[in-house]
Amino acid sequence: METLTTFILPLLIAIITTLLYETKRTKPCPKAPSIPDPIPFISNTYLSLTNLPAFQAKVSFFQRTSSNVLTYRLGPKNVYIVQGADNVSPLMRVTNDTGSCDGSRKAMQLANALTFQKDVENPHHDWLDLSNCTIYMLKTCFPSQVRHSSEAFIVGILAPLGFDSSDIKKFARDTSSRLKKGSAWSDTPSHERVWYGLHKVYEEWMTRKKFSYSMAGKYLDDFESRLENKFPVGEYVEGNVFQFLKDEMGAASLVAMCGPRLLNMNGGRKFVDLAWEYDAIAFYILTGAPRWWDRKPFEVSDKFLEAVGRWVEDGWKKFDWDTEADWEEKFGSRFSREMIKWFLHDAKMSMKSARGWMGFVIFALISNTVPITTWALYEIIRDPVLLGEVREEVLTVFEGRTLNTANLLGLPLRIRQGFILGDTIFPKGYLVQAMVTAAHRDEKTWSAEGHPAGKFWAQRHVKSVIKGAPGEGERLIPEFDVAGKRGSFMSFGGGSGMCPGRFIAKQEILMALATMIARFDVEFVEWTTLDGGKASDRAARDDPRYDGTIVVPPDREVK
């Protein structure tokens, strides 16, 4: 009872106080229908935090029956939820930061206009920390308060990543954007532009083809070596697909990005397992949940970040300032090395902050590519016809037993002020969410006769194109096609916040699929529970424990 009182009283105080203040400042736009909230300010907030699948289902229902643009209250704040290609496209569009607040430029898109930040002076306070009753506040178009939406998200997760408060302030106070020129209205000195510095590391050392290909090459070498050691040629082996990919693909990804020392000095396989333990609790941690609510996830987080910290600190002591190698043993990829150098040397941040960011990089590295590869293999393996078609195509990029990476990648996969979107007015300072899950399963956009959007269909994104001169080897070639689906297909986000690791992610996924399909005769045996212990009476579905993450893994194994 005492614990309940400790929880409820701060919640009621926070809601009542902010309600009285906020209702004077902002009102929901009358042109956007509101999602019903049985207990105003509480029901939708509680549902979105404790049962995201149910909240998404509620949103989808009202968007089907009411409007593609809805509004609701997240605690004290007004939030818009946007769906539909015509509405989502502006959110994902790359912007041109001109320094104007007059709304005359189309480049001033909503995605860069609506922002929030934590209390700069108390960055460890977060809106779910009810003992402090600190509420997220949305900022409007004033020079000292501008914060891009993706940057606001990053500021919000730095404390859960273990950043020092002084380093969080560096990010929170930089209003200059991640663009080279910087925002015209920002007064941030050039030497304090941490957003641009961080963005430059990603742009220079991860998105450039030379370095992403180097990392992908290391990944492929390590993954193939693990396959050969795990599965002797000519022998039949029964195993679990998801667990195998978590173990071997996950380890190969870590070695390619961070080098073998990360694993070797942290127990090898034990660190891979620890990384997946962190993956299971990361969403809970990064949303800003208080430690007292449930200590176990924080114990996993502490253990994971300490392991990453040992690797960062040991490598930094032996840092080679002279090497220009694309990959080396201590830090692995050039990206990893340059990121650590930027944090500890260029930006003069702490070891705790550097380890926190590299922990986030590692989490992002494996938490999306492995589940995507798993889902793809599930669908390919269980359909012998599809397996044959994919194998035939994949074999065209092998030269003997060597995978030609370039050929593989060339296969069919070829506010600051108020804003008006359609007939909806978005006032200053409102938060906007694009429902990616709903967009990717929208029946109007993706369904075909006999193939509903919610079920896998291998031909959904493929069209046949005639290649070759008439009468001279003319043939039909399948090509990847999402023409006309802008705003409905958001695999890596969009705009200036688009995933910087999209190139290496795509390469790792395709390499894993191509290697396994080309080198193994694979047969689907049965669906099992995730631990592989019992047969399952149904196929895999999204694991509800991961709702809200980028890629939701399956809740079943394939044997």
Q: Give this prediction's pTM.
A: 0.71
pLDDT on residue 59? 79
Known binding-site residues equal 499
Cα gap 95→178, rounded to integer Å: 11
Q: What is the DSSP string of 247-293?
A: IIIHHHHHHHHH-THHHHTTTTHHHHHHHHHHHHHHHHHHTT--GGG
pLDDT surpasses 90 at 453: no
Out of 96-105, 391-400, 464-473, 530-539, which region has the weakest mean confidence (pLDDT)? 96-105
pLDDT on residue 509? 80
Q: How confident is the model over 20-33, as a mean pLDDT?
A: 51
Q: For the segment 209-255, what is each residue's pLDDT rounded down to a tens digit?
A: 788 888 888 888 888 888 888 877 767 777 788 999 999 999 999 99
Alpha helices in 461-543 (DSSP H): 502-519
Q: For the segment 41-79, what is each residue's pLDDT rounded down to a tens digit?
A: 788 878 876 777 788 778 777 766 666 777 887 776 677
Cα gap 188→174, rounded to integer Å: 6
Cα gap 127→150, rounded to integer Å: 18
More confident residue, 134 or 224: 224
pLDDT surpasses 80 at 157: yes
Percent of the chain scoring above 90 in pLDDT: 19
pLDDT on residue 228? 83
pLDDT surpasses 60 at 390: yes
Q: How confident is the model over 375-394, as a mean pLDDT?
A: 86
Residues 6+ apart with CB under 8 A from 172: 117, 118, 120, 123, 147, 155
pLDDT on residue 130? 24
pLDDT on residue 357? 96
Which of 325-334, 469-478, 503-512, 530-539 is modeled with the greatest confidence?
325-334
Q: How confident is the model over 26-50, as a mean pLDDT?
A: 72
Structure-token match 């019903």, residue found = 36
Q: How confident is the model over 159-178, as a mean pLDDT?
A: 90
- pLDDT, mean over the chain: 73
pLDDT surpasses 80 at 172: yes
pLDDT surpasses 50 at 472: yes
Q: How confident is the model over 461-472, as a mean pLDDT?
A: 72
More confident residue, 486 or 130: 486
Q: For the segment 183-195, what is each residue's pLDDT rounded down to a tens digit?
A: 766 778 888 899 9
pLDDT on residue 533? 76
pLDDT surpasses 70 at 450: yes
Q: How confident is the model over 290-319, as a mean pLDDT?
A: 92
pLDDT surpasses 70 at 548: no
pLDDT surpasses 90 at 362: yes
DSSP 99: S
> What tokens were used for 46?
């509680």
pLDDT on residue 95? 39
pLDDT surpasses 50 at 122: no
pLDDT on residue 432? 65
Residue 101: pLDDT band by 50, 70, 90 thresholds? very low
pLDDT surpasses 50 at 464: yes
pLDDT on residue 461? 76
Alpha helices in 84-208 (DSSP H): 85-92, 149-158, 165-173, 194-205
pLDDT on residue 184? 65
pLDDT surpasses 90 at 306: yes
Q: Of 181, 197, 199, give the one whose Cα is nearest residue 498.
A: 199
pLDDT on residue 319? 86
Which of 93-102, 117-126, 345-354, 451-460 is modeled with the greatest confidence?
345-354
Torsion of CA 128, 130, 132, 133, to 10 degrees: 80
pLDDT surpasses 80 at 2: no
pLDDT on residue 345? 95
3-state secondary structure at position 327: strand
User: Which one-letter amino acid corresponds to residue 373?
Assistant: T
Residue 421: pLDDT band by 50, 70, 90 thresholds? low
Q: How confident is the model over 189-206, as a mean pLDDT?
A: 87
Known binding-site residues for heme equal 499
Task: Please give the sequence-ordered ranges of beta strands (E in DSSP) within 448-540, or none if there are none.
Answer: 462-469, 472-480, 527-528
pLDDT surpasses 50 at 27: no
Q: Are strands 402-403 and 398-399 parallel, antiparallel or unpaired?
A: antiparallel
